[in-house]
Amino acid sequence: MRFVAPSRDYAGYIFDCDGTLVESMPLHFRAWRHALRSQGASFEFSWQLFVSRAGMPLEETVLALNAQFGTALEPALVVAAQLGLYRSLLPTVTAIVPVVEFARQVAARAPAAVASGGHRAEVEASLRHIGLDGLFRCIVTGTDVRRGKPDPEILLRCADGLGLRPSECLVVEDAELGIEAARRAGMDWVRVEALSEVRVETLPDDTTS
């Protein structure tokens, strides 16, 4: 990952979780491919397609895929399969060290929050696994909002939870949908960049898991 810390201080900081604080995106991708195959998806779920939906709540992702490919996948069943495999993989997630170190530094002097499109249980488990539980004053997840990223609702909820104006907050994000949400919220942002994409052929085949 490539991450360049901002040159100025902010009154508050809002971090995405997956792909920003924790190196979980390959695991999510593997779980999505398994879930979609197990539910009979007729399209290929590529890394590029996965990244284009990153940050969107899980149920919304399935609905968006149905609209894009003309399928009728049942969101609840796909999400259950995705979460089932992802939960089994959670113990293998690792910290994205430069971002975690930055989060610890800024949280020592300013309130910090997490805004993730994932489910709360998995987000909180990921933070615990890398030793960040208790660091954030506010955690808002995809199950807490009516509209996911790129809608700014999740970020505005975080700013409110921190007791700050949106313009006082910096968003740390890896996904384009999250960055667009920051723009719409009127917040500054900094991107966490992946150095390479995941190659499909390097992933285990979880179709029968």
Residues 102, 3 contacting (CB under 8 angstroms): yes
Which residues are CB-contacts of 193 (< 8 A; sequence separation ≥ 6)?
A: 1, 2, 3, 174
Q: Is 174 a catalytic residue?
A: no
Q: Are 51 and 195 in contact (CB under 8 A)?
A: no
Q: Strand 188-191 and strand 112-116: pairing?
A: unpaired
The whole-angstrom separation of Cα 99 and Cα 127 is 13
The catalytic residue among 9, 16, 18, 205 is 16
With vertex at residue 189, the alpha carbon angle to CA 186 and CA 194, rounded to the nearest 5 degrees, is 145
Catalytic residue ranges = 16
